[in-house]
Structure formats: structure tokens, C-alpha cells
Amino acid sequence: MINEIPISPQAKATVYLTYVLGAVLWIVILVTICRSIFIGGNWALKGCLLLPFPVFLVNVLLWRATGTVSEFNTEITRIEEVETHASYVIGAVLGTVVIAAALKGIDPQRPLPPGFANLQTGALIAAVGGVLPLYWIPNEKPAWLLILRHLKGLPLVYSIALFLGGIAALLSV
């Protein structure tokens, strides 16, 4: 049985702010980095790049329904799960790049789709640079771990969206 602890209004506000800023950052990424890919891409690619918005909304709604934080050790386990999922994304990205390189080696005349390398590189950077580092070592307060988990969840969602966008781009050619 997981013991749930009430959370302070400041910690709740921080979690909400995390997702709002995460959505704003994703808009900035779409407008600056992925704009040419997004404008010229197919609908599957566009859907993949828009994936973070409903994911953030669902995360906020699900978290709002409970409004609590788990015990310290449970939160540590949840952070480890986020990091484990990021390692799966890293493996999938690297596997996809190897497959794309093999396809390119088989048919050198076949071009890789525009933006594929950028999307896969972005997914790798988001997963490795955004999820795996230890930002800080929180004290014994579980609320800090809750915030850290949500902070690490944002780049995980970014990496999944970029990875799926790269797959959609690869399949479109």
C-alpha cells in the first residue's frame, strides 16, 4: 500500500508551472527547430510532433485528481522508472539510426527523408541530456522528488515525440 501525503500549494503550483513551461518550450522548439520539418511533413509526422500537448494535459489532469505525493522511496522508484523509459528511447533511436544507415547502404541513391537525422538527434539529446542527468539531490522531502519526476518527464515526452516523428519521416519516403 502506498501512503499518500498531502502536498503544499507551492509544490502543486510548481508542478502545474512545469507543464505550462514545458508546453511553451515545445512551441518554441516547433517554431524554431522543427518548423521546416513540420510545415513540409506529412500528417503522421505532424501528429507525432503535436503529441506532447495532449500528454501534458493528461498528466496534469491525472495528477490533479490525486493532488498528493507518495512516500520518499516510492517517488525515488518513480524517478527510476522515468529514467528507465528514457533508456528505452535511447536504444530505439540508436536502433532506428542503424536501420536507416543500413537502408542507405543497400540503396545509396535513396535519400534519407529531410529532417530524419535532426529528429533522431533531437530525441537522443532530449533523452540523454534531459532525463538521465541528476539535476540535484533532493532532501528527504518527497515533494521535491515529485517535482524532479515531473521535470524529467518533460524531456522524456519530447524525446518520444521526436523519435516517433523521425520514424514517420523515415516511413514517408
**70 phi and psi, to 5 degrees?**
-85, 175
Mean pLDDT to the nearest integer, 92-110: 89
Answer yes or no: is pLDDT of 5 > 70: yes
Mean pLDDT to the nearest integer, 142-153: 88
Mean pLDDT across the chain: 86
Band (64; pLDDT cuts 50, 70, 90): confident
Answer yes or no: is pLDDT of 12 > 90: no
Answer yes or no: is pLDDT of 1 > 60: no
Percentage of the chain modeled with pLDDT above 90: 36
Stretch (H or E) spanning 70: strand 68-70
Domain count, the chain: 1
Which value, in Å, is the radius of gyration of the alpha carbons in the chain?
A: 18
> Could you give the CA distance from residue 165 to residue 157 in angstroms, rounded to a whole number?
12
For residues 26 and 53, the answer to whether their CB atoms sit within 8 Å is: yes
Domain of residue 11 covers 4-172
- pLDDT tens-digit profile of 15-55? 899 999 999 999 998 888 777 776 666 778 888 888 999 99
pLDDT of residue 38: 64
